[in-house]
Structure 1
Amino acid sequence: MNSPHLAVILLSPPDSGYSLTLENKIAGVPVFKRLLLTLQRAGIKEFLVLSRQLDEREIEIHRKGIEKDSRFKGLLHWHDRAEFFAAPNKEQANALTPSQPFLLVNGNLVTHQKVIRRFMESANNNKLDEIICLALDSEKPGGLYLLPQTKFSTLSHRNGSENDEGKAERIVLSANTNFWVEVRDNVSAMEAERKLLRYGKNHYHQFMDIWVNSLFSVHISAMLVKTPVTPNMLSLFGMFIGLLSGWCFAQGNYLGGLAGGLLLAFTAIWDCCDGDVARLKFLESDFGEKLDTICDNLINVFIFTGMMLGVAKTQGWGPALIPFTMLATGGGLIFAFIYFPKGGKGSFFKESRMYDIIQTLASRNFIYVILLFAIGGHLDWFLWLAGIGSLIFALMLFIARRQTIKTVLSDP
């Protein structure tokens, strides 16, 4: 079974009115628009919205509002549910009848694109003529169905696919790693936002991101998504914090080193926030990723330059410049080996054992090592450790790169 490209969305007003789903924001995006963007990220390209209790003028206003949003790239059809299947519009309904199974979604659903993808991938193993629904436990079906194309005409019935719910084959996904919430009131809206923010932790794989950084960043991100601040602004502000951290290191005293270490630890938390906001508001971009990488590397320049200046103040230029020169040489080679072969951070080494080492050393974990040295008052030790370590790691990358090239050339 091919993945569906059409989603039919049944939109009905909650008891409190349409403002709850069409205007109320969940993590910075209105509930209904979030659903469309989530489905789009899951691979849906065409959307048919069948609404109740909205006149033609209101439908046109909301449709244009979505189509003008640069994040939305799909094809959107929006009609009154009763009128769409009426005799005068039969030709229009026939033209939109899908040729393969389609998704049927409740318009108040909040979930994540990964959940939808898992549902569709699991549904690929079922028969083409089956009705399939999502469930997070065997007793509780979700607001997401996969229907055969022959069921399209049944959407004109009062209860739509609900008549077939008892016959539906349920795909049960673990509630521990998946979520969906149907927003019916303010309480469920708050629950949806809370679960969505918590689900963002699944993006992280590094130890300190999971157990330290995300514990703080999720609360900061929850506030930031309610503001007009963009992820790129957050990346630039994080770079400013890194510059301030480097200035503190350059003071050459214990309090300056400690303040620099604490500010640097905060950049690790803040660096999670720009990604969180980008994902929650569907603002990821290639430019944003490149800007984030540039800012991260500039922060490294600021903090190590600050450390060098701080050591020079207390021990003289010799003990400061020797490890700093080693670090600059090793760091420059590492940057060239990792970023310039092709495809970004370490992708050239993806098929080798070196890739996991790159991902670990290029992570935010090392920031907390610096903080420990700052607390101990021995940033000069860390400067030597970083200088020697960078040269060793650069040599390891050079050897691994040569081996990778030899392997590629020797393959037929």
Structure 2
Amino acid sequence: MNSPHLAIILLSPPDNGYPLILENKVAGVPVFKRLILTLQRAGIKEFLVLSQQLDEREIKVHRKDIEKDSRFKSLLHWHDRTEFFEENNKERANSLTPSQPFLLVNGNLVTHQKVVKRFMESEDNNNPAGIFCLALDKPGGLYLLPPTKFSTLSHRNGAEEDEDKVERIALPADTNFYIEVRDNASALEAEKKLLRYNKHHYHQFMDIWVNSLFSRHISAALVKTPLTPNVLSLFGLFIGFLSGWCFAQGDYLSGLAGGILLVLTAIWDCCDGDVARLKLIESDFGEKLDTICDNLVNVFAFTGMMLGVSQTHGWVQALTPFTMLAVGGGMIFAFIYFPEGGKGNFFRHSEMYDVIQTLASRNFIYVILLFSIGGHLNWFLWLAGVGSLTFALALFLARRQTIKTAVSDS
């Protein structure tokens, strides 16, 4: 069955009133707008909002707010639920009657687009006439209904009378969540769950088990501010500059401070991405800026280490490994990001791709911290110089083999 392109949202006032879901922000975005944008990211292209106890003026105000949002790219219909199904509006209702299965969602729902997408694409919901629900221990939340259920929405949610016939789609428990915002407590719980769910974005070992433990709490505060992810990326660059300056001093305490600040850049580097995803404002420019800042932080750190080592061990002991590192690092950067862009995309179909994702990561920052604690940053500089040349050679050979394979296959 094809994925649905229409979502019908039933919007009813919570006990605390509509401001709880129309104005109150969860992770930087109002609850209802977050739902619309989340469904859009899951593949929904058209929305029909059926609200209760909102007059025409309020509907117009909130609809305009969504439509003028640069993130919204879909078609939005918004009507009073009772009036929509009245006899004199029958023609309008008929014009919006879906011909394919559609999503039915409560307007106070907070979830993630990956959850919605997995639900819609599940192999278990391949019966066009079936009624499906995202499996949890309670009814409601997210339904996939056949077109014949559209007319029943005038007085119920389209599945109430058939709740015992609903087929529940089971998704992995660790990647499946939704919560209905009914009061301030559930709004706070929704934000916490979104922050925890964000951890599934990470693939690097230290990001998953260390950096995200700290960045999650920092990001929770940052999403409540007007700071943009790009500003956060630039601030992380400033922290990286301070780290390099500390390394350049050449004494033990400054080296230790540089190592700690460098670890802070790794934690902070999670925050700009967290904020972008939580506020639903990721962009290609932001991703490129983040990549540039990450690489400049590395330049600051290694240049600072070279200057610091030169003060304690002389210029030969500093410049020799630094030159090796600069040559190897430049080759690695060229092999990884060119000609296809993206980290290692050229090697995506080879075994080298997983190696790139492991080695070309922030994990090495914690190795630097260990060497700075031990007071042997000069050892790390040599290790990095030899290691970068070795890795660059491995990438060169893998690249040549990939090209040979592609030519022979063609």
Q: Shorter-normalised TM-score: what interval?
A: over 0.9
Deviation at 1:363, TM superposition (A): 1.1
Matches within 5 A, 1:173-188: 173-188=171-186
CA distance in 1 between counterparts of 2:163 and 2:277 reads 33
The residue type equivalent to 1:57 in the other structure is R
- Residue 275 of structure 2 corresponds to 277
Say if 1:141 and 1:170, in contact at 8 Å, map to a contact too.
Answer: no
Report SS of the residue matched to 2:335. Answer: helix
Say which is worse superposed, 195-204 or 371-380, in terms of deviation: 195-204
Distance 2:147 2:385 in 1: 64
Tell me what 2:211 maps to: 213
Displacement of 1:126 in angstroms is: 3.0
Corresponding residue SS for 1:352: coil
Distance 2:238 2:80 in 1: 51
1:353 corresponds to which residue? Answer: 351
Q: Is the Cα contact below 8 Å between 2:262 and 2:365 reproduced in 1? A: yes
Q: Distance in 2 between the 1:45 and 1:177 partners?
A: 24
Task: Please give the alpha-carbon distance, in whole angstroms, between the structure 2 residues aligned to 1:270 and 1:142.
Answer: 38
Residue 407 of structure 1 pairs with residue 370 of structure 2: no
- Partner of 1:141: helix, strand, or coil? coil
In 2, are the aligned partners of 1:108 and 1:183 still within 8 Å (CA)? yes
Q: Take 1:194 and 1:334, find their aligned partners in 2: how far apart are those partners?
A: 38
The CA deviation at 1:312 is 0.8
Aligned length: 410
Worse overlay, 29-38 or 149-158: 149-158
Contact conserved, 2:32 with 2:107, CA < 8 A, in 1? yes
How far is 1:158 from its partner?
Answer: 4.0
1:393–1:268 CA distance, 2 compared to 1 (3 A): same
Compute the displacement of 1:141 (Å).
Answer: 2.7
Q: CA deviation at 1:204?
A: 1.1
> 2: CA distance between counterparts of 1:334 and 1:61?
53
Q: Measure the CA separation in 2 of the matches of 1:125 and 1:61.
A: 37
Corresponding position of 1:103: 103
Secondary structure class of the residue paired with 2:342: coil
> 1:39 touches 1:113 (CA, 8 Å); kept in 2?
yes
Q: Quick check: 1:7–1:47 contact (8 Å CA) kept in 2?
A: yes
Distance in 2 (alpha carbons) for counterparts of 1:209 and 1:316: 36
Partner residue of 1:289 out of 282, 287, 290: 287
The structural deviation recorded for 1:159 is 4.7
- Tell me, in whole angstroms, the C-alpha distance in 2 between the residues paired with 1:67 and 1:52: 20
Deviations 1:191-222 (A, max 9, x none): 11111111111111211111110100000000
Residue type of the alignment partner of 1:107: G
- Give the distance between the partners of 2:408 and 2:171, measured in 1 at CA: 44
Once the two structures are superposed, the pairs formed by residues 8-407 of structure 1 within 5 Å of their partners are 8-122=8-122, 125-136=125-136, 139-407=137-405
1: CA distance between counterparts of 2:395 and 2:80?
61
| Alpha-carbon contact 1:123-1:171 (below 8 Å) kept | no
Task: Give the direction of change, closer, same or farther, for the CA distance of 1:394–1:174 in structure 2 (3 Å limit).
Answer: closer
How far apart, in 1, do the equivalents of 2:157 and 2:313 lie?
Answer: 79
Q: Distance in 2 between matches of 1:86 and 1:67?
A: 26
Deviation at 1:99, TM superposition (A): 1.4
- Report the AA paired with residue 384 of structure 2: A
SS at match of 2:169: strand
Q: Deviations over 1:115-159 (max 9, x none)?
A: 1111111266431111111112xx423410000011111111245
Paired residues of 2:33 and 2:66 also in contact (CA < 8 A): yes
How far apart in 2 are the matches of 1:353 and 1:373? 30
- d(CA) in 1 for partners of 2:350, 2:157: 55
Distance between the aligned counterparts of 1:240 and 1:3, measured in 2? 45
Give 4+ residue runs of structure 1 displaced > 4 Å after superposition: none
Q: Is the 8 A contact 1:135 1:142 kept in 2?
A: no
TM-score, with structure 1 as normaliser: 0.98
Per the alignment, in what secondary structure is the counterpart of residue 103 of structure 1?
strand
Counterpart-to-counterpart distance in 1, 2:123 and 2:155: 25
Structure 2 CA distance, aligned partners of 1:400 and 1:329? 18
- Cα distance per residue 1:148-183 (max 9 Å; x no partner): 011111111245432222221111224332111011
- The one-letter amino acid of 2:201's match is H
Gap runs ≥5 in structure 1: none
Aligned to 2:4: 4
Secondary structure of 1:140's counterpart equals coil
TM-score (norm 2): 0.98
Gaps of 5+ in 2: none
Amino acid in the other structure paired with 1:133: C
- Secondary structure at the aligned position of 1:38 is classed as helix
Identical aligned residues as a percent: 80
Q: CA deviation at 1:3?
A: 0.2
Distance 1:375 1:61 in 2: 58
The aligned amino acid for 1:122 is S
Tell me which moved more, 101-110 or 336-345. 336-345
Spell out, residue by residue over 1:18-45, the C-alpha distance to the aligned partner (whole angstroms, 9 max, x if none): 0111011101111000100110111111
The letter of the residue matching 2:248 is A
Q: 1:344 to 1:159 in 2, by over 3 A?
A: closer
Mapped partners of 1:259, 1:68: distance in 2: 47
Q: RMSD between aligned alpha carbons?
A: 1.1
